[in-house]
Structure 1
Amino acid sequence: MTSLELAQKAAAILDNKKADELKVLGIRELSVLADYFVLATGTSSTHVKALADELEFQLKETGNMPDHVEGYRSNSWILLDYGHVVIHVFTAEARRFYDLDRLWQDAENIELNFLSEAE
């Protein structure tokens, strides 16, 4: 699975669990941190944890294990690092506070076709 496919798969899983404000950012040209960031917002700290748990479970089923997971104690921002893809699951307050959307505004916005199908 390519890093783009992993990012899109992660976004689809999060979408199926009703994540808000889903975004996949291509950062390969801007940083050595990863190829893609996936940003998602949960409606509560419980929803954030459920999103991260489901994501980790389903990606494990496809043979993808995170290299690192952070933030389960806070439940306001959980980070799942899959090497070339880093997934950020926030509460709305944490997303506004950290404002990764603004910090990475020069990143490539990857179109998520399944989002338009659901509307």
Structure 2
Amino acid sequence: MTEQEKLELIIKTLDLKKGEDIQAIRISDLTILADYFVIVNGTSNTHARTLADEVEFVLSQKGIEPQRREADTGNTWIILDYADIIVHVFYKDTRNFYKLEGLWADGEQVDISGLLIKE
């Protein structure tokens, strides 16, 4: 699976599970951490955990496992590290507090509108 296919699968999975305000930021020109950050929030801690679990499940069905999974005790920020793509799943209040998009504002916003289900 190519990096682009993996990115699209992650975004579609988050969208199907009703993740809010999904964003993809290309950061490969800024850091060696990863090529992309995917940022999303859930409506509750349980929803955030469900989003992360579903991404992990769907990718594992394709034989792709995260190198690391980190979560705080309240599931308000969960990180799935797939080396080239790092998925940040937040509870809404936690996302608003850390403003990760602002920290990586020099990255390139990826247009994902064609991947999202129109309601």
Q: TM-score, normalised by structure 1?
A: 0.94
Q: Which residue of 2 aligns with 1:37?
A: 37
Secondary structure of residue in 1 paired with 2:51 = helix
Deviations 1:15-63 (A, max 9, x none): 0000000001100001110000000010000000111111100110011
**What count of residue pairs does the alignment treat as equivalent?**
118
Gaps of 5+ in 2: none
Q: CA separation in 1, counterparts of 2:37 and 2:74?
A: 20
Matched letter for residue 114 of structure 1: L
Aligned-pair RMSD on alpha carbons?
Answer: 1.1
Q: CA separation in 1, counterparts of 2:74 and 2:86?
A: 18
Q: CA separation in 1, counterparts of 2:91 and 2:24?
A: 17
Matched letter for residue 83 of structure 2: G
Q: How do residues 16-55 of structure 1 correspond to structure 2 at under 5 angstroms?
A: 16-55=16-55
Gaps of 5+ in 1: none
